Structure 1
Amino acid sequence: MYPIAAIFRSPRLPVRKVRSLVSYSTATAVAWPLLSPCPPLSSAVRASTTQLIPSAHSFSGIARSVLSKYPHILEGGKARISADSSLRDLLFEVLDVIPDTGRRFLRVSELKPQDVLQILLGFQAECEKERFLATKVEPLWRIFNWAVEHVEGFEHLPSTYRVMALLLARAGLLREAESLLRNVESRGLVLDNAEILSNLIEEYAGLGELDRAIAVYDRVRRQGLVPLPSCYHALIEILVRRRKTQLAFSICWDMVERCTDKLAGEAKRDIDNVVRLLCGSNRIQEVRNLVKKVTFSDLGWQPCSFILNDITARYCEKKDFEDLLSLYRELRCEPDTVSGNRVVNTLCREFGSKRGDQFLLELEDLGFKPDEVTFGILICWSCNEGNLRSALMYLSESLSRGLKPDIFSYNALICGLFNQGMWRNVDEILNEMVDKGTSPDCTTYRILLAGYCKARQFDLLRNVIDEMQKFYFIQLTSLEDPLSKAFEILGFSPQAVRLKRDSHVGYSRAEFFDSLGNGLYLETDLEVFDSKVDAVLHGSIIPDFNELIMKECTSGNPKLDLLLVSEMSLWGQDLSLPVLSALVKELCLSHSSVKETSRLIEKMPTSFDRLDEVTLDSLARFFCKKRLSRKGMAFLGRMLDRKMTVKNETYTAFLASLCKEEDLIEFRKLWDLARKNKWAPGLDDFKLLLERLCGKKLLPEIVELFERMLMYHPISQVCDVFFEKLCSSGFTTMANRLAKEMELRGRFLDHVAKGHFIRGFCLENNHSEALRIFDSTQVDKLVVATDVLVTLIPSLCLAERSTEAVTLGDFLLKKHPSFSLPVHLALLKGYTEAGNFQEASDLFRDLLSKGICPGVEAYDMIFRGICRSNNLNKVEELLALMVRRNLSLSVSSFRMIVRLMCVQGRLNRVLGLKEFMLGQSNSNGLVIYNILIFHLFMTGKSWVVHSILSEMQAKSFLPDEVTYNFLICGFSHCQDYPSSMHYLSAMMSKEHRPSNRSLRNVIRCLCGVSEFGKVRDLCREMESRGWLHSSTMHNMIVNGLVSGGKIREAEAFADRMSEHRSIPNEVIYDGLIRQLCRQGRVGKAVDLLNVMLKKGSVPNASCYNSLINGFCADNDVDSAMDIHAEMLLRGLTPSIKTTSLMIRKCCEVGGIVEAERLLLSVSQAGQTPTREMYNSVINRYRSENNPRKASELVQAMQQIGYEPDFETHWSLISTLNQSKGEHSKVTNQPGFLSRLLSGSGFSWRTDTKSKRS
């Protein structure tokens, strides 16, 4: 097998060969190895191949290997500092943050202690003004260490240690920060700054390293420092989550003791959480002490209702009600409804309703206001005790206070009446209940059925069944017996209980009589019957909300469940753990509101901490699906803290969600955690996560995920999914590099993977690489998929391999006739993209002649090719053909044709084509008009636009945002700024935001006509609407003002943007800097240079030249040299004029060494020094009486063709007239005078060629 280039040796394919593509026959199959099965391998080859098949273990470390080999790809091409970086390189890394400070040290060979402190303080001050740049702390740390390593006897100042440690802690470089602190302690220094250690604690707590965080906290305590509030928050948060009760209490107590100001919101929540944690651990004494401590410390904290409820619940468990009352009195708090009802309910349950009633009076003395539930509790417990009189008294008191008893109170009273045999009075309670607006519920009817069964009033039983059917509680067919239905509702089977009439034959069995006097008896086990009826009545007195909620959880109505939970808390009852678990699972499976679920969690956090693994996992996934990943992560953290197993699917779901939410900080934390826990997603989850990673371009994680998948799944399946996704996402080069790494480890890719590579490179327009891989498949005898070969056809055409493309198409058509249309479209695309418009037209014509309808896509390709060749006649022919075939013209083709017609000035035809498009469909009418307006403006035919707008108005086509933007840009392009401003105002009046391009065009137009007042008004309008200037707009305004001579206005605009912190990134002040330097305002120019650097812009060489010239004009040579050093570090070359001026100024101030270095740098940069440069340095050496150096420079000057002037000649001759003899004695070489004369054209032996003057 040979590469395809070797198979096809024929010259360029003639047109008739192209036409033959449409007349293929399938009668004979052409055998072409591309699509034929691979030939069988020999046994030796099979054996060697088998030996080369790697195991999953062989791919261990593949991610690390690739990351180390291709760091420039994975890091976006950004250079990283290396281990042997010089001081200048390290300073350059932070120069964009502290340019003013950093450039002062670019020329020093070693740093002083105060220099390092100045650099660190400058960085710290800049971060406080803008934002903290953690990535820049590493080069600062390197600078800190460089000084110690390269300067003998160097000792940092104590303040330097403090600032460096603080920066390291804030940047998360915790190991480095601790190392620095140990170094400081070993030197006997004390860093009296709690901020450093507080930041360390925060970072360790955020990473979950609790032991390290506590160790640093203990160090803070030992040193007598006060941690920052944020440090307390971080510690308490992780301690509460991990249920470290004693530590949380101790740290919270310490926080309260050390606090001197009012507590902030976070600190108040921390106290709440600690109190609830203590309550959950039944440490009520610590709760009491902490609550009193905080309340009496006047820190602005008061226990909220949730806290009081938790405290009350713990006291109720201990049955220490007197202590609870004393706490309320000390805190001067009024018990709320939930707390008071809980106390009353607990007292009634434990000591009877009479004790609950007595304690209610004491609660009322504290300000408690009982509600209908409070009296309902007393009614229910009184009925449960058989004290019906007290129950009726509580009902009367409730009504006298204007309260409306609830259904549970009435149910309890009905039960009490039945239990006391007072069934005749039940109707009175029912009537009063209905009169008060409370309707019977299912439990009420069940109580009535049980009560009438107990009283043997079966006639009334029928009435209850009829009423239940009337209100749709049950459905009864005509064949069903009402009494049997009643027994069924009470839990009896139809065969177990039968009601029979006494026949009066023999011994009478009648137990009771109906309203007609008929004797009746129950055929059942009466003892069991009465026991079950009594159980219904007794079980319905006290509402069991857990049972009610559990029953409702199966109905799929979570809103009703949540209502029951709310009512349950009012009755002083708690959710049991099984019921809570069932409720949470139902909420997670339903479309419940996140707010409702969060509110439930807030009510009972301790109960949620006790949920099982499956329920916590469901809850975490629920919040993840709702795109509240951070909230879900809290439950994931609880699972990990309790050593529960987290499913692979859960890790993957959270990673994908965090990636989608762009929360990359939490994403990377969870990524590291999942890797430690040996996480490996399934293949389906792998596809989803890979898609999200590709979308965010997280290449290191992509490579690591690939390695992890290879370790846990079949290699072929992983490679197929991975390479397909990477190649379709624009990362084919990265995929190819991974494939090469796999080959080094013995895994050679199959035809499927190479097909992905070919398709990916074609999509990325890297046709040469696609063809290279394709040729390799031929050498390796691999079968390539048909759709991949179709994709390859345009690449062959673009690579000037049209012959091979046609031959490939010929083969595909004969082998797969169903691919006829895709193959021809691929050829059309290849011809049009390669500029072979004639071949494309011939192929298209032949397709039509054979009756093949190529479709809209093919017409678009042909129109694109013809329009590129500017052949309007061909366009019109094709349009006529489409009309005859009743085909529709696509919008993309319309756009290309309109552009060509506008360029050639065929306005009538443009308008006719527009009518044709509108006749096809009115749905794209506005799009058609927008295209027309755009191209009319682009070809300078703005006068037609007004008539087009009038026509649009007549046809009720209202301009949209696209229309307005086209009008603004178009009129600006035509220098018609009044019209442009008119449509800009109209657009803004409709509350549309113009595009940045429109605003740029308007500003450019206004600046061009020096309408700076209107520019200023537009900028203020943008600021009032909160629209930020883009860097292009900002630069345009500044450059326009500078070009108009408005230097002060340009400066004021830049200052105003700086004050409002509205300066965009990549701002450019080159022109303004040059003008300021010309005016002698170099200081302000440097300020603007610093702004540029901080915003990520690199000034050009002329900007640096202007600054150097300005400093030289002010005789500030040191500053000029600093700017020069920065300029060279950025790879910019100063102009000859600038270097000459610097050399002259250095010589004037005595900097002869710097001057000579500058002179040498000119030659090293490939430039030729001027005569003036040499003369300046030579004259300075002469004035310093250093003829030896002067003579060396004269020789260098002569070597490039310059001759020194007479004064320089004579001065050196008179000074060095003895140098010949002395020099000859030592070196046996001619002296200076001989060399000087020889260089000037004289020789003791023969004359040399004269030099150019």
Structure 2
Amino acid sequence: MPLPMRIRLPLLHYSTTTALRFSSSSLALHHLYGVRTFALPFLHQRRSFTYVSSDDSDLESDSSHSQPQFVSNTPLANANNNCLTRAPTLDESLILFYKLDPSSKSARVCNPLLKSLLKLGRTDDAHHLLDQMLQPDSKFPPDDFTGEIVFGDLVKRDRPGKGIADEEIVGLVTKLGEHGVFPDTFKLTQLISKLCGNRKNGLAWELLHTVMKLGGTVEAASCNALLTGLGREREFKKMNKLFAEMEEMKIHPSVITFGILINNLCKARRINEALGVFDKLRGKGEKSWIGVEPDVVLYNTLINGLCKVGREEDGNAVTYTALISAFCGVNNIDKAMQYFDEMLSSGCSPDAIVYYSLISGLSIAGRMDDASVVVSRLKRAGFGLDRECYNVLISGFCKKKKRERVYEMLNEMEKTGVKPDIVTYNTLVSYLGKAGDFATATKVMKKMIKEGLKPTVVTYGAVIHANCLNRNVDGAMEIFEEMCSTSMVPPNTVIYNILIDALCKNNNVERAVSLMDDMKVKGVRPNTTTYNAVLKGVRDKRMLDKGFELMDRMVEDACNPDYVTMEILTEWLSAIGEIEKLKLFVEGYRVSSNPSSLQT
């Protein structure tokens, strides 16, 4: 008769010796798979089994349940169907794990155990287990789920009893990275932020570059976290180096990246470098690879920094250019014009960027007379308008309904060799359609196609909307049908909403409902605006059953009602005594399971 197997590992934290008897490591593995609290999460059923050792002695089991016999040579594939009667302790699970043959171990077995150890603060045991997984010749190397567990614990390491020292993080990330396991962008950013917050910029730098070197995914957010830490310590050389590396590795910076750089440079009164970064953002003097538009926060940051420096230094062309661009960017045109006049009186010569910024800002603000004055000054200075400037001027004149100036701009574009683009044509089509000049709008669309430009969803939407505004719903439907049949441009929710609303207002509710069905067929998701328009229509036509059906669809689509929806339904259903249906709808239940006999 074989002696009972007794296992005692000094690494484990337990007060009594644990004695367990198994005939093989396969049976031990089945015991490990039975751990419910600390082990495998994929075990969804609680079952009771008696494990029979080679001497037919039973382990202690729960006598309140039936005891089917478990044979030790059951295949491993069936392990997750065989759970223990009583969940053993975590110490027992570790004992069983270390008894297993290496070939029986896998990341799938290790990960839940590792997670439990870390959760309970048993970092020594967890790291011992992880070290085995990270060995170069390990039979059970880590996988992505291992990474989620470890990196998730690292970002929480500031809790008492958790995690490892900052200095060990880079080594651990390196070892996992060598197995192809990397932190995701969110966790990498958190780790870098924590290291920088602890004034460990060197470690944060090493961590980011380790992930880069090993081939992990690095995005702007992680670089931004490091830039923030470097900026706090005024490490501008490293900030510039990291920014250059981002360009080299095609890590596209965000507007936040530029905001961090400009903010820290301005605070350090390194205004020329800040302006250089701002020029790079705008792609000045080189082919832009960035594709980022400055936002109000960035403009304000630049304005604040420039104004502080400007109080001590005489203004120069570069400073004035940045200030004018920044104030135009935040729609403070009066301040921009003030600096423009000051720039001229100080003898500084504005460049094309200054003129373009002013023209764009004035046009967007609707100050077309002032914009025209700036255009004249631009031409006297020897500059010409580019396509973007022409487009913003045409848009401004369209909004002011100055058709003659629109045609003047178009003729000038043709004379100077600046070809209209899709933005130009969309602006014209929208303007002509709203003005009711459908014949000219159609001609513009045909010319656009002839020029090799394909109409976009914006083009079709502009024409359809213009027709609906002029109560030419049939014409709008013709364009819609042409769009669906001959073009490669699928209609979107906005176009459907325009048509459905127009049809309902034109008392053609049945066709509006059929368009909603068409949306479902084509996979276009309706929104609250869609439902509001058609619910209003079926209410006016007293189509109660269709109203209930639409309410059910709204629930199924998880489309939340707004105050317009509630106003329509409350008024309608209260008047016909169906307020209970409204309550069901508000609570997220179907309302048409018991159809009402009322058709009022």
The TM-score, its normalising length taken from structure 2, stands at 0.60
C-alpha spacing 1:712/1:1000, structure 2 compared with 1 (3 Å): same
1:1029 maps to a residue whose letter is C
Q: Do residues 657 (structure 1) and 176 (structure 2) align?
A: no
Aligned equivalents of 2:67, 2:379: Cα separation in 1? 85
Shift of 1:983: 0.9
Partner of 1:48: none
Partner of 2:339: 804
Aligned equivalents of 1:842, 1:832: Cα separation in 2? 12
Q: Which residue, out of 480, 492, 495, partners 1:961?
A: 492
Q: Do residues 1029 (structure 1) and 559 (structure 2) align?
A: yes
Partner of 1:1039: 567
Shift of 1:764: 0.8
Shift of 1:780: 2.6
Partner of 2:449: 918
Note the alpha carbon deviations across 1:140-187, whole angstroms, 9 max, x for none: xxxxxxxxxxxxxxxxxxxxxxxxxxxxxxxxxxxxxxxxxxxxxxxx
Q: Which residue, out of 636, 646, 650, partners 2:169?
A: 646
C-alpha spacing 1:766/1:927, structure 2 compared with 1 (3 Å): closer
C-alpha spacing 1:939/1:954, structure 2 compared with 1 (3 Å): same
Aligned equivalents of 1:951, 1:299: Cα separation in 2? 71
Note the alpha carbon deviations across 1:875-904, whole angstroms, 9 max, x for none: 123223434556443333333333332332
Aligned equivalents of 1:750, 1:334: Cα separation in 2? 74
1:977 maps to a residue whose letter is V
1:181-200 aligned at under 5 Å gives the runs none
Partner of 1:610: 132
Aligned equivalents of 1:288, 1:788: Cα separation in 2? 90
Partner of 1:949: 480
Q: What are the ranges of 5 or more consecutive residues in structure 1 without an aligned counterpart?
A: 1-241, 254-262, 274-284, 303-329, 339-571, 581-596, 696-701, 1063-1253
1:992 maps to a residue whose letter is V
Shift of 1:1018: 0.9
Partner of 1:1106: none
Note the alpha carbon deviations across 1:990-1024, whole angstroms, 9 max, x for none: 3432234323332344345554432211122344x
Aligned equivalents of 2:231, 2:497: Cα separation in 1? 51
Shift of 1:871: 0.3
1:610 maps to a residue whose letter is Q
2:564 maps to a residue whose letter is M
1:1140-1155 aligned at under 5 Å gives the runs none
Aligned equivalents of 1:812, 1:943: Cα separation in 2? 61
Q: How many residues align?
A: 488
1:864-943 aligned at under 5 Å gives the runs 864-883=395-414, 887-924=418-455, 927-943=458-474
C-alpha spacing 1:601/1:892, structure 2 compared with 1 (3 Å): same
1:293 maps to a residue whose letter is L
Aligned equivalents of 1:248, 1:920: Cα separation in 2? 86
Conserved in 1, the CA contact under 8 Å of 2:300 and 2:326? Answer: no
Note the alpha carbon deviations across 1:1024-1072, whole angstroms, 9 max, x for none: xx3113141xx4333223323616534432234426499xxxxxxxxxx
Shift of 1:642: 11
1:423-822 aligned at under 5 Å gives the runs 598=107, 609-611=131-133, 623=144, 629-630=148-149, 633=152, 645-647=168-170, 650=173, 657=184, 659=186, 680-682=203-205, 685=208, 691-692=220-221, 709=230, 714=235, 717=238, 728-729=255-256, 748-751=268-271, 755=275, 763-764=295-296, 771=303, 773-781=305-313, 786=318, 789-790=321-322, 792-793=324-325, 795=327, 798-802=333-337, 804-805=339-340, 808=343, 814=349, 820-822=351-353
1:967 maps to a residue whose letter is L
Aligned equivalents of 1:655, 1:875: Cα separation in 2? 56
Aligned equivalents of 2:345, 2:449: Cα separation in 1? 40
Aligned equivalents of 2:454, 2:439: Cα separation in 1? 23
C-alpha spacing 1:925/1:292, structure 2 compared with 1 (3 Å): same
C-alpha spacing 1:788/1:641, structure 2 compared with 1 (3 Å): same
C-alpha spacing 1:615/1:785, structure 2 compared with 1 (3 Å): farther
Conserved in 2, the CA contact under 8 Å of 1:1038 and 1:1050? Answer: no
Q: Which residue, out of 69, 73, 84, partners 1:334?
A: 73
2:169 maps to a residue whose letter is V
Conserved in 1, the CA contact under 8 Å of 2:324 and 2:354? Answer: no
Aligned equivalents of 1:1044, 1:872: Cα separation in 2? 46
Aligned equivalents of 1:1002, 1:715: Cα separation in 2? 59
2:73 maps to a residue whose letter is E
Shift of 1:857: 1.0
C-alpha spacing 1:901/1:299, structure 2 compared with 1 (3 Å): farther
1:834-1233 aligned at under 5 Å gives the runs 834-844=365-375, 854-883=385-414, 887-924=418-455, 927-952=458-483, 955-957=486-488, 959-962=490-493, 963-972=495-504, 976-1007=508-539, 1010-1023=542-555, 1026-1032=556-562, 1035-1044=563-572, 1046=574, 1048-1058=577-587, 1060=589
Conserved in 1, the CA contact under 8 Å of 2:464 and 2:476? Answer: yes
Aligned equivalents of 2:451, 2:385: Cα separation in 1? 20
| Matched position secondary structure for 2:310 | helix
Aligned equivalents of 1:812, 1:656: Cα separation in 2? 55
| Matched position secondary structure for 2:420 | coil
| Matched position secondary structure for 1:681 | helix
| Matched position secondary structure for 1:960 | coil
Note the alpha carbon deviations across 1:675-720, whole angstroms, 9 max, x for none: 789674118939999943799xxxxxx7xx7886468773675599
C-alpha spacing 1:791/1:898, structure 2 compared with 1 (3 Å): farther
Conserved in 1, the CA contact under 8 Å of 2:134 and 2:141? Answer: no
Shift of 1:832: 1.6
Aligned equivalents of 2:169, 2:590: Cα separation in 1? 45
| Matched position secondary structure for 1:293 | coil
Note the alpha carbon deviations across 1:80-109, whole angstroms, 9 max, x for none: xxxxxxxxxxxxxxxxxxxxxxxxxxxxxx
Note the alpha carbon deviations across 1:532-562, whole angstroms, 9 max, x for none: xxxxxxxxxxxxxxxxxxxxxxxxxxxxxxx
| Matched position secondary structure for 1:901 | helix
Equivalent pairs: percent with the same residue?
Answer: 12
Partner of 1:293: 59
Shift of 1:843: 4.6
| Matched position secondary structure for 1:645 | helix
Shift of 1:930: 2.9
Aligned equivalents of 1:999, 1:993: Cα separation in 2? 11
| Matched position secondary structure for 2:454 | coil
C-alpha spacing 1:681/1:880, structure 2 compared with 1 (3 Å): same
Shift of 1:934: 2.7
Coordinate RMSD, CA, aligned: 6.1
Aligned equivalents of 1:690, 1:881: Cα separation in 2? 44
Shift of 1:639: 11
C-alpha spacing 1:800/1:978, structure 2 compared with 1 (3 Å): farther
Higher relative CO (Cα under 8 Å, sequence separation at least 6) belongs to: 1
Shift of 1:798: 0.3
Shift of 1:945: 0.9
Aligned equivalents of 1:1002, 1:974: Cα separation in 2? 12
Aligned equivalents of 2:240, 2:319: Cα separation in 1? 19
Aligned equivalents of 2:373, 2:412: Cα separation in 1? 15
Larger-gyration structure (1/2): 1
2:72 maps to a residue whose letter is C
The TM-score, its normalising length taken from structure 1, stands at 0.32
Identify, as 1 or 2, the structure richer in helix: 1
Aligned equivalents of 2:416, 2:163: Cα separation in 1? 69
Aligned equivalents of 1:754, 1:977: Cα separation in 2? 59
